[in-house]
Every structure is written in C-alpha cells, then in structure tokens.
Structure 1
Amino acid sequence: MSLFTASLNSGSNGNCYYVGNAEEAVLIDAGISCREVERRMTRLGLSMRSVKAIFISHEHSDHIHGVHKLSARYRLPVYVTPRTRLEGRLTLQEEYVQAFQAFMPVTIGNLSITAFPKLHDACDPHSFIIRCGDVTVGVFTDLGLPCEHLIHYFQQCHAAFLEANYDEEMLERGKYPYFLKNRIRGGLGHLSNTQALRLFTEYRPPFMSHLFLSHLSKDNNRPDLVHELFRREAGATEIVVASRYIETPVYHITSTGPVNYTPVAMRIPPPAKPQQLSLF
C-alpha cells in the first residue's frame, strides 16, 4: 500500500496537511479557510469527496480557522479532544464531533491515525501519524522540544512533516520582543532548525524517503537556508520546504517492503517541564 500527501499551507498564517490513499484521506488541522482548502486541493487534482475526517492538533487559530465551515459543508467528523474543543470554542455540530485518545488508533477505511502528546503551549496538544498498510506518514509541528514520544514515532515514518520554525541567530537578532522570543524557544514553543536537524540526523530511519520542513517562521527563518542545512545531511531522503503561501505538490509515499530496523534508543534527555508562557 501507499499514501499520498501534501501540505496545503504551513506556517503561523495557517496549517493544513492532506494524507490519504486512493480511496480516502484525512486533513490534519484546518487553519486556512474552507475556500482556500477547496482551491488548493482542486489545483492539486484532489477531491474533497475523498476526505473523510479532520483531526485537530490543538486550539490555536492557525490550526482551526477553517474547521467549522469545512465540517458543516462536507459533513465531516472532526476528531478533537474535549479540552481542545472547549479551549478553542469550537461550536461544531454535535453529530460531527469525535473524541480521540492518545496512543489509541482511529480507523478510517484503510487508514489508521494515532495521536500522541507533544510539548507546546496549548491545553492538550497532540501530533499524529497516519498509517496505510506498511507505510507511515507523520505530522509533527508546534513542538517545544523533541520529547521521547516524538522520537519514538519519528523513527517509524517513511515521510514526515517536521517543524523547523526558526534560526537561532535570526530570532536572537530579530525584532520580536523579549517575552515572545522566550515563548518561541522556551520549551513549549517551537522547534529550531538546529533541534529539528539533530532529530533528523540522529533518529531518521533508513527507509525515510521524504522530509517536509514545516511551520517556518516568516521573520526568523528562510526557506533556502533551512533547505541547504538539511540537504547536506539528507542522503537519499528528499527534502521539501512546505510554504506558508502555497500548497506543495502531491507526493506519493511508498514502502520498499518490510525493513529489519531496530529503533535507536533515545539520546536526547527528557527535559524538565518548562514554564508555560501565555500567547499574545
């Protein structure tokens, strides 16, 4: 089996990721408008008829902006935790609300979607992996630090959307106020280029064919910079930078067959829980 995947948008102005097979698909987050989701999927030759559900990672507006209209227009179930639904004030039709639990797979056709907790300054944030047969795609953005759960699931992925939000020097020298800089790099904010690269180089499985660098900061990162940084270490893995302005192409993710692979033991020590900083 195989999976088709694309970023419809990736950044603080909206996040939405498409993952599916030939019959059914899911959206991970819906932070752009219903109209933009439709336009971008049409340009990619994708149909909303194949989308069977939306999964919400957390309540920040760049992840939920379009979910109400998408769910209502296409009668789509929205998988969201009760705490995220409450904090995000998601006034969804009750018949379309579905809860999920961490580490408990949700089956949609031939797709299996598993959520797991992540470190981010939201009330109940989760990342996701999507499986179809022996192929796995991960969606890992809005990460304060690479926790043990992230490392565990990253090592299972044939392709992954991985946050590379900021360059440390650009953030330090940039115009953001001090409190916001600390929020971003404080352990519950976002993953830096260096942190993402370390995760990639130390824990990338040998069968990973694609890495989609995601959720880049408009002010504290550059697509060319981060692409070159990862390309030098990529080997056979194709590096794609997901844009905050336009969709990526659709990528066909396949498996070369069963792989005898033992995951690497975690070498990044579990962090002490950072102080949570409020959003501005």
Structure 2
Amino acid sequence: MACNTLFIASLNSGSNGNCYYVGNETEAVLIDAGISCRETEKRMLRLGLSMDKVKAIFISHEHTDHIKGLAVLSAKFNLPVYITPGTLRGCRFNLRADLVRTLLSHQSVQVGDLHISSFLKLHDAAEPHSFLVSCGATKVGVFTDLGAVCEELTSHFQQCHAAFLETNYDDDLLSKSAYPYFLKKRISGGMGHLSNKQALDLFIAHKPAFMSYLLLSHLSKDNNCPELARNLFREHANGTEIVVASRYEETAVYAISEPVAVHSF
C-alpha cells in the first residue's frame, strides 16, 4: 500500500453509539467514542485493528451517543482527547486533565502523518464539529449529526476520497412514525439530522469523481431502512462503493488511496 493510504471502519453508527476509525499503517485516530471501551476493543480486535496504533480521540459533540465510552477508553490507553471547551463543559463526567487537548474550529492537528482538521456544523449541541482526516493527498471526511448541508460541508465533501455521511431518516417514514411532534421537529428542523434526500442531493451535486467509498451513517432505527438508503444511493453511485454503517456491528476495514494519475504519451 502507498504511504498515503488510509484505512477506515465504522465501529458503530447510530443513536445507540458512534465511533469511527481512521488510520494509516502506523497511527490512527478515533472520531467519537460512543460505545463502551470493552466493545470498542472487541470490535477492533475482530477487524484486526490494534489499539496500539490509536494515538488520539477527536470528539464531535457532547451527546451521549458520541462520548459514552470516552472517559474509560481515554484513561485506559492514555489517549489525548481533542475536544472544544464548550463540548467539554457539556460532558457529564471528568476527563483526566493531562489528556485534554483544546480543539478549535478550523484547527489542523497533526498526529504522526495524519492531519485532522475541524469545522463547525449545524447541530443542536454546544460547539459541534465535523472532521477531515488526511494522509498525504488522501482525505476522509466524518460528517454526521448534521441539521442541514452548509457551504463548509459542501466544500469539505468535495475533497473526500471517502466519507462517512449521515443519512438519518426517510422523510415519509419520519412523518408516519409514532414519534411525538416535537421530536420530529427536532430531527428535521435544521439543527438535528440529515435526511436521505438531503444527503443524496449533496452526493449527486458535489461528489468528486475520485470518491471510492461512501459510508451511510447514523441511520435511525425507526425512521429509515438500510436497504432503502443503500439502493437510493447506488442508483447515483457512478463508481463509488456504497456501504451502510450499522448500528449493531462494525463494518469491514476499507483501504482508501488517492488514485494514481495515468498519463498518455
């Protein structure tokens, strides 16, 4: 594999917990830690991924499904946690002070040969951020818990060789669901979650030709269907592999590389 190859996997994706692995041959980071430390270890072991390679955890926001396993995981493996001050204040537990690293919007953090940049997103949390992880010219985005598509999201999505993109709900399933009105409004009101249609519109209009994988993420248990979302995106994939990140188990590990330019003479 080329030195700029990134290996990615979803360890879990959904309202019951979110944790995403992105790394190269020698180091890796976790984006969010919303499943238990024990479950994180078990799933990585099944995938053949080593916790020894994980050098840091980046936290997108303070909702429980993104931080549930954070304190134990960070302490057990002495992992620094990159987290905004507002997000840290929203956590209902104390992290070891020596492991806390202040995260700022549009900051670029270097972890070995990995570069992790952050930008604000639209979500009902204190200081919610999305992330772009790069190794050389290869870039992977982690874009979940999005109330709407904004210019920042569009700009970063256009750079990705692979991305985790939220497809939380189907409009019809949400409207017909037993959820109370206030919860439906929260989900679809511009600061909650991204629908299949919103995500698909972004994909169709702004998918770069070199995007090899799209992992549909944070699907609702009640208001979406994996097959529905997968089939919807596959109709417009044009060479991009469509994967649904499960709320029950880890995905496979996918190798992401910048395509090699072919020159004709």
By the TM > 0.5 criterion, same fold? Answer: yes
Which of 114, 119, 140 is matched with 1:111 structurally? 114
**Match for residue 42 of structure 2?**
39
CA distance in 1, matches of 2:190, 2:91: 22
Shift in Å, 1:101: 1.2
TM-score of the two chains, using structure 2 as the length reference: 0.97
**Ranges in structure 1 where 5+ consecutive residues have no aligned partner:** 260-280
Q: Percent identity?
A: 63
Report the secondary structure of 2:169's partner residue: coil
Structure 2 matches for 1:1-280, cutoff 5 A? 1-257=4-260
1:2-60 deviation line (CA, Å, top 9, x unaligned):
10000000000000000000000000000000000000000000000000000000000
1:188-227 deviation line (CA, Å, top 9, x unaligned):
0000000000000000011000000000000000000000
1:218-272 deviation line (CA, Å, top 9, x unaligned):
000000000000000001000000000000000000111469xxxxxxxxxxxxx
Residue type matched to 2:40 in 1?
A: V
Residue type matched to 1:104 in 2?
A: Q
Report the secondary structure of 2:26's partner residue: coil
Report the secondary structure of 1:129's partner residue: strand
CA distance in 1, matches of 2:234, 2:86: 39
**Ranges in structure 2 where 5+ consecutive residues have no aligned partner:** none
Shift in Å, 1:90: 3.8
CA distance in 1, matches of 2:6, 2:117: 15
CA distance in 1, matches of 2:235, 2:255: 23
Report the secondary structure of 1:122's partner residue: coil
Misfit runs of 4+, over 6 Å: none
CA distance in 2, matches of 1:146, 1:76: 32
Report the secondary structure of 1:156's partner residue: coil
Residue type matched to 1:111 in 2?
A: L
TM-score of the two chains, using structure 1 as the length reference: 0.91
Report the secondary structure of 1:112's partner residue: strand
Report the secondary structure of 1:240's partner residue: strand
CA distance in 2, matches of 1:127, 1:6: 17
Report the secondary structure of 1:142's partner residue: coil
CA-based RMSD: 0.9
Shift in Å, 1:104: 1.6
Residue type matched to 2:73 in 1?
A: L
CA distance in 2, matches of 1:110, 1:126: 22
Residue type matched to 1:149 in 2?
A: E
CA distance in 1, matches of 2:199, 2:93: 31
Report the secondary structure of 2:60's partner residue: coil
